[in-house]
Structures are given as structure tokens and as C-alpha cells.
Chain A
Amino acid sequence: MPSPGNGEGMLKVNNIEVVYMHVIQVLRGVSLEVDDGKIVALLGANGAGKTTTLKAISGMLKTEEGEVTDGSIDFDGKRIDRYGPEDIAAMGISQAMEGRRVLEHLSVEENLVVGAYCRKDRAGVKRDLEIVFDYFPKIKNLRHQVSGYLSGGEQQMLVIGRALMARPMLMLLDEPSLGLAPLLVKDIYEIIQRINAEQKMAILLVEQNARAALGIADYGYVMENGRVVLEGPAEKLRDNKDVREFYLGLSAVGSKKSYREVKHYRRRKRWLA
């Protein structure tokens, strides 16, 4: 299968294994690549290891008694899997964690400004604040509000905006569609696509909502049980029979999936082997 670029990926995850608390193995050899300026989707069911993969990249694993025991992670030509989350953030990777983790008692604007903590260019931070408000006009009007009272969609916008404020080379987004109405998911995905195109930021997107993610991604990986079981350019994955059936809910082209078809059990098992 072709790799996402020419093998010169900005982020390269090489066959990593992750163990929590010295005994629980969560990842069993995951490799993926994100190229400069690309959107890469990481798909899979609950417990497949998507979030763990993100945490391994961002170094957040170390705060949760997890450890990369094998393999390596390279970012921008440097091996990063030994660094803590603060150092990795300073290198240009920012993560919007799952579940809309806004700093509740801080105002919207403070939430955004704190995202730019590592930056020294004050003028640039100010400009980016306006850029964020430009992408999310809804939260501009709420800039002095306590962010804990924002709606779910507004909080998700705030969290993405905060990740943007760091001006990262790579943004890690963990389930930006979680718990949002379909219409809002569409809005947020459009903006993610715009951020990628206009700000030239690469994005690694973890999603359960495969339809939304493959709609904007250049390349995709499907994970299961701590392994990558399928990968390919997004348009190929969209047409892949298995992905259509298990993630997009379609069986034949254009028709809704029929639950009478029970064969999918067998096909699913083939992936795990």
C-alpha cells in the first residue's frame, strides 16, 4: 500500500508498543505517518488504541503511567518518544484532548491565550486570537464569558481554537465530533479543513465518525485491538468494502446496510487474524 507521502513524513510512528502500568499492553506495533500539511484520519472502534496512539505522540502517556516500550516516534527529524508532554508541546505538536477539556473557570479569551503559552511573539498571539475568532465567530461574542457555561459545540470550538493558538506544526484532534449534533459536526469539520488549508497545519484526527473524518482526510488508518489493520488514501478507504460496511454503515453502493446480512462477522474476524 502506498505511504501517505514519499516516506519523508514530518511525524513518523515506527512500530510502537505501549504498556500501561507495566502490564497492560494497549498498542501492539503501530506505525503511521503524517506528512507536512496533510490531514490524516485514525479510525477505529472503542478501545482500538486510537487515543493511546495520540497520547504516545504527545507524551501525555507519561502522566498516566503508560510507556512506549518498543519502537520509536520521530517528529521533524527528532526522536521524541522519550520527552514529556511539556517539551513535545514546545516542539510544535498541540493536542486537543477528548471530551472538550476547557478550563472551566477561565474566560473564553483566557482559555485561548493560555494556549499560546510557549510563544514569545506577542503580536503574533494577538493576530492569532483574531484568526481563531474569525474561524469561530460564535465564540467571539462570548470572549469574556466563563467558558464552563458554553454549550458543547462552543466548547469544542474553543478547544480547537486553543490548540491553534500554539501555532503548532501538527495538531492532534481527539474525537472533535463526540456528542455533537450532525449539523454542528459538519460545521466543525469544515473549519478543521479550512485551518489545515489556510494555516498550513498538519492534522492527525482520531475519530469514530469515519464518514466525517474520511470526508476531509488525505489519508487514513483503521485500528483494531492495538494494531493498524487497514490504511490507504482517504478516497480508497471510502470505497473499501469493509470500511463501508463497518464504519459507514453501507453495504452495496448507496444503499443502507441490511442487518439481515450476517456475513460481516466472518469478515470482521479476518481483520483480527
Chain B
Amino acid sequence: MTFFLQLLVTGFALGMVYALIAIGFVIILKCSNAFNIAQGHFVLIGGYLGYTFLVPFHLPIWAALFSAIVAAAILGLLIERLTIRPLVGQSELAIIMMTIALASVLEGLATLVWGGEYKTYHGVLPTITLKLGGISLPPESLIGLIVSIVAMVMLMLLFRYTKIGLAMRATAEDLQVVQSLGIRATTVYAVSWVIASVVGVIGGILLGGVSGVMIPLAEIGLKAFAVVLLGGVNSIGGAIVAGIILGMLENIAAGYLDPLLPGGGLAQVFPFVVMIIVLIFRPYGLFGLTRIERI
């Protein structure tokens, strides 16, 4: 039982990080109606940035996080200005193609700057563990949990209580109406890309602390994609719940199913099997925005 609870708790922490990355997906999807294929590559860049600030620069974790967030914000602004803004008014497909190109460019950038090597900063994080009865939360998970909760709360506050947050939600509904009210769509897009890039980078730092950083870290984007589909493509709350579910399932599968098979690997597959089953019964995901039909 303790083993199960342990898996659940670490899975929860991992799931929160997935959810954070997935929120980046949802935000771009909401404002541009397009999947951001490069979301996983923000994670990759984040992992390397985390390594750079923590190991060669010897920054404490909070300073490393802050520096990485600033770098991510600049990256997001540049991407919006240089690649997305020229496509305003074009079809969603053009934006998706652009994000595919972006993914390659970011991967190239990672190879260019960090040589695409395996980097790890496992021991650098402060060693605090949380013990609750027989369950202990290792430092990477604990930091992941705290940082993702703080980030999510801040995003929620942004959407609920700020002007730009309201403008973002309004833009997701009807671009023309929003323009007629004097809201600049380009500002909304810029903020959206900054958020997508920042949450991706934060997720990258957190995940890199657990498993190290290498080019395949970008594949986490695929997992975030699964989270988004499971949660319902346009629901941030759904992404959070689905992220947690996926993290827990992955951990439970790793704990119970992997020892059964020689080779393991079931942990990676199991969550996707669950996702397929859920999608068959709920094609709009668990919490997709209900289409409003007046009666």
C-alpha cells in the first residue's frame, strides 16, 4: 500500500510538470487555433538552459529558474515577431507548418550550442525531501511540484484578474469582435507565445533535473500533446487534470508493470493506451469546452 501511495504521489508531482508543459500547448491552440509542434522543443531548450545556469554558472536554483524564464520570454517574443506575426490572417495550416520548422530550428540550436550531448544536473538541486508517513518525495519531485503549482496559480490569476488575461480569453472566442473593441491581436499573440515558451522551459528544467537532458527530451512534447487531447484541447483545467492522471498512470505502470516484462518500457505506453480508450468514449477529451447550443 505504501508502495502504491508512493507511486501515486511522485506520479502526481511528475504529472503537474506535464500539465504545465501542456498548458503552453493549450494557450497557442486557443489563440491561433493551431497545434504548436515546437512545444516539446521549448522543453529541450529549457533543460539545456537549466544545465547552463546551474552547472557552468553555479547559480542557485531560484536564480537559474529566473534567468531561464527571462531567456524563454525573449525567445517567445522573437518567435512571435519573426515567424508568427507575418502569418496573421493566413490559414491555421501555415502556422502549424511554421511550428514544425521552428521545432527543427530549435533542435538545431540545441545541437549547435550544447553539442546535443547528454547533460545532467541531478546532484545540484538542493536536497530537501518531504516525508509523510512511509512516503517520501524526492527533491526533484518536490521542486517540480512546488514550481509547477506556483506557475499554474500565477497563470490562473493572470487569466482571471488581469486585462491582458481577459483579452486573451476574448481573443480565443472571436478575433474580429476583439479587434473591433480595440484589442491588438498581435499583443495577445506575443503574450501567448511568451507563456508557451516560458512554461515549456520551466518544464524542461524540472524534467532535466530528473532524467538529464538530451535531444530526445523534445519528445516530451508528444506526451504533452497526449495530455492536451485527454484533457480536451481547449481547456486549461482539463490539461491540469489530464497531466496529473497521465503522470500517475505512468508511475504506477512503471512500478507494477515494468517488472513483469523483461525490457520494461510499458510505463511509456500504458498512459497512451488509457488515452486511446478515453478518446474513444469521449472524443472531445475529459474537459473539452462544451459547445454552447442554445435551446
CB-defined contacts of A87 to chain B, threshold 8 Å: 182
Contact with A along B175-191 (1 / 0, CB 8 A): 11111111111000000
- Majority-rule SS of B interface residues: helix
CB-defined contacts of B167 to chain A, threshold 8 Å: 114, 117
Judge whether B97 is part of the interface by a CB distance below 8 angstroms. Answer: no
Closest chain B residue to A104 by CB distance? B292
Pair A89/B181 contact, Cβ less than 8 Å: yes
Judge whether B170 is part of the interface by a CB distance below 8 angstroms. Answer: yes
CB-defined contacts of B166 to chain A, threshold 8 Å: 106, 110, 113-114, 117
CB-defined contacts of A114 to chain B, threshold 8 Å: 166-167, 170, 178, 181, 183
Pair B183/A86 contact, Cβ less than 8 Å: yes
Pair B173/A89 contact, Cβ less than 8 Å: no
Pair B294/A151 contact, Cβ less than 8 Å: yes
CA distance A110 to B292 in the complex (A): 17
Pair B179/A115 contact, Cβ less than 8 Å: no
CB-defined contacts of B180 to chain A, threshold 8 Å: 58, 60, 85, 89, 94-95, 97
CB-defined contacts of B173 to chain A, threshold 8 Å: 103-106
CA distance A151 to B292 in the complex (A): 12
Closest chain A residue to B173 by CB distance? A103
Contact with B along A98-110 (1 / 0, CB 8 A): 0001011110001
Pair A149/B294 contact, Cβ less than 8 Å: yes
Closest chain B residue to A110 by CB distance? B166
CB-defined contacts of B174 to chain A, threshold 8 Å: 101, 103
Contact with B along A119-137 (1 / 0, CB 8 A): 0000000000000000000
Judge whether A212 is part of the interface by a CB distance below 8 angstroms. Answer: no
Judge whether A40 is part of the interface by a CB distance below 8 angstroms. Answer: no
Q: A101-B174, A105-B173, A166-B182 are in contact. Are A117 and B163 (CB under 8 A)?
A: yes
CA distance A84 to B186 in the complex (A): 12
Candidates B169, B179, B181, B292; contact of A146 at CB < 8 Å: B292
Judge whether B56 is part of the interface by a CB distance below 8 angstroms. Answer: no
Candidates B163, B182, B183, B292; contact of A148 at CB < 8 Å: B292
Pair A162/B181 contact, Cβ less than 8 Å: yes
Q: How large is the interface on B (under 10, 10 to 19, 20 to 34, 35 or more residues)?
A: 20 to 34
Judge whether A255 is part of the interface by a CB distance below 8 angstroms. Answer: no
Closest chain B residue to A91 by CB distance? B182
Pair A101/B177 contact, Cβ less than 8 Å: yes
CA distance A113 to B173 in the complex (A): 15
Judge whether B289 is part of the interface by a CB distance below 8 angstroms. Answer: yes
Pair B292/A63 contact, Cβ less than 8 Å: no
CA distance A72 to B89 in the complex (A): 25
Pair B292/A86 contact, Cβ less than 8 Å: no
Taking each of B163, B166, B181, which has the highest tally of chain A beta carbons within 10 Å of its own beta carbon?
B181
Judge whether A185 is part of the interface by a CB distance below 8 angstroms. Answer: no
Judge whether A118 is part of the interface by a CB distance below 8 angstroms. Answer: yes
Judge whether A90 is part of the interface by a CB distance below 8 angstroms. Answer: yes
Contact with A along B68-95 (1 / 0, CB 8 A): 0000000000000000000001000000
Candidates B163, B169, B184, B289; contact of A86 at CB < 8 Å: B184
Pair B179/A60 contact, Cβ less than 8 Å: yes
Closest chain A residue to B180 by CB distance? A95
Measured CB to CB, the closest approach of chain B to A263, in angstroms, equals 43
Pair B183/A117 contact, Cβ less than 8 Å: yes
CB-defined contacts of A105 to chain B, threshold 8 Å: 169, 172-173, 289, 292
Closest chain B residue to A93 by CB distance? B180
CA distance A94 to B180 in the complex (A): 7
Pair A63/B163 contact, Cβ less than 8 Å: no
- By a beta-carbon cutoff of 8 Å, the part of chain B in contact with chain A is 89, 163, 166-167, 169-170, 172-185, 289, 292, 294
Q: List 29 A-B contacts (CB under 8 A).
A: A58-B180, A60-B179, A63-B179, A84-B179, A85-B176, A85-B179, A86-B182, A86-B183, A89-B179, A89-B180, A89-B182, A94-B180, A95-B180, A97-B177, A103-B169, A103-B170, A103-B174, A104-B173, A106-B173, A110-B169, A114-B170, A114-B183, A117-B166, A117-B167, A117-B182, A148-B294, A150-B294, A151-B294, A166-B182
Given pairs A85-B176, A148-B294, A151-B294, 17 additional interface contacts (CB within 8 A) = A60-B179, A63-B89, A63-B175, A63-B176, A85-B180, A86-B182, A101-B176, A103-B169, A103-B170, A105-B172, A105-B292, A114-B170, A114-B181, A118-B181, A146-B292, A152-B294, A162-B181
